[in-house]
């Protein structure tokens, strides 16, 4: 279970225990919390026999918010009788010191990695908030923006004449996740990704359209389990052949 609290609301949050065997995991950050979530989640998933209740507390950028986060963590521990696990990526030392007073296993990502890295580089870190999410490479940033525009323009076979510009073309039936995959490739890696939805006519003809055959080296098929596809389609359009 994953929860996310904005700074406006998490101070009012009241802990209600649902499963006594769940271990609560907090991801704390002075920004969005994405870094703490990504690293923390990759670690706790190695413990497949455990149940984790995951809670993100982002934008902890004042002492009051840090103290409220401590209260929230302590309340969770008291309610479950299990010490919470806390992943933190806060930069400011005064906020980090406050959070370390919480009654939990505190895993400060900066403590773990910055000190040995500083020794190796023989340089002290700047401790500037938000540096990880800044635009350090403007060319790479612009390519991601252009790739996103390309993905949107070429969604569901939108403009086949643009396929020459594509790095990849995803092919699959409706609701196999072509659009979100294209957007992910564009936003994260600047990949020019188009997609084409296979229709009943394509299956009846038994072959791909000529404009796709010409791009055969760029084609990647997406598949999905029939039961899962039926479930997704039924939620979107419950009646008719589409969800059958």
Per-residue DSSP letters for the chain?
A: -EEE--TTTGGG-----S-TTEEEEEEE-SS-SHHHHHHHHHHHTT-TT-EEEEEEE----SHHHHHHHHHHHHHHHHHHTSPPEEEE----HHHHHHHTTSSSEEEEHHHHHHHHHHHHHTS-----TTGGGS-S-HHHHHHHHHHHHHHHHTTTS--GGGGGG-SEEEEEETTSSHHHHHHHHHHHH---EEEEEE-HHHHHHTS--HHHHTTGGGEEE----HHHHHHHHHHH--SSGGG-
Task: Indicate whether 83 and 160 sit together in one domain.
Answer: no
Picking from 132, 164, 179, the residue at the C-terminal end of a domain is 132
Low-confidence ranges of the chain (pLDDT < 50): 8-9, 11-19, 242
Task: Indicate whether 179 and 215 sit together in one domain.
Answer: yes
Picking from 114, 132, 150, the residue at the C-terminal end of a domain is 132
Task: Indicate whether 7 and 112 sit together in one domain.
Answer: yes
Task: Indicate whether 77 and 143 sit together in one domain.
Answer: no
Q: Which domain holds residue 180?
A: 138-243
Task: Indicate whether 15 and 106 sit together in one domain.
Answer: yes
Task: Indicate whether 167 and 112 sit together in one domain.
Answer: no
pLDDT the model gives residue 12: 47
* CATH number of the domain encompassing residue 29: 3.40.50
Number of folded domains in the chain? Answer: 2
Task: Indicate whether 6 and 27 sit together in one domain.
Answer: yes
pTM (two decimals) = 0.56
Picking from 104, 132, 160, the residue at the C-terminal end of a domain is 132
pLDDT the model gives residue 4: 58
Task: Indicate whether 172 and 203 sit together in one domain.
Answer: yes
Task: Indicate whether 11 and 87 sit together in one domain.
Answer: yes
pLDDT the model gives residue 8: 46
Task: Indicate whether 157 and 225 sit together in one domain.
Answer: yes
Task: Indicate whether 127 and 143 sit together in one domain.
Answer: no
pLDDT the model gives residue 159: 66
Task: Indicate whether 165 and 187 sit together in one domain.
Answer: yes
pLDDT the model gives residue 15: 44
């Amino acid at each position: 279970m994953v929860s996310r609290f904005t700074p406006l609301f998490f101070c009012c949050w009241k802990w209600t225990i649902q499963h006594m065997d769940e271990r609560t995991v907090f991801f704390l950050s002075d920004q969005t919390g994405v870094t703490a979530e990504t690293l923390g989640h990759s670690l706790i998933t190695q413990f497949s026999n455990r149940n984790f209740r995951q809670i993100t507390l982002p934008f902890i950028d004042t002492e009051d918010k840090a103290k409220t986060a401590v209260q929230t963590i302590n309340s969770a521990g008291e309610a479950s009788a299990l010490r919470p696990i806390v992943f933190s990526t806060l930069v400011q030392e005064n906020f980090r010191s406050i959070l370390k007073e919480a009654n939990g296993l505190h895993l400060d990502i900066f403590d773990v990695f910055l000190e040995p890295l500083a020794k190796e580089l023989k340089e002290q870190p700047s401790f500037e908030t938000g540096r990880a999410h800044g635009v350090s490479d403007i060319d790479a940033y612009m390519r991601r923006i252009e790739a996103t525009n390309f993905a949107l323009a070429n969604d569901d076979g939108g403009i086949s004449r643009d396929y020459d510009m594509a790095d990849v073309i995803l092919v699959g039936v409706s609701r196999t996740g072509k659009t979100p995959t294209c957007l992910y490739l564009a936003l994260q890696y600047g990949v020019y990704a188009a997609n084409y939805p296979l229709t009943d006519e394509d299956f009846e003809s038994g072959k791909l359209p000529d404009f796709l055959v010409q791009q055969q080296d760029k084609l990647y098929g997406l598949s999905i389990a029939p039961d899962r596809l039926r479930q997704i389609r039924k939620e979107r359009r419950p009646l008719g052949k589409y969800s059958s």
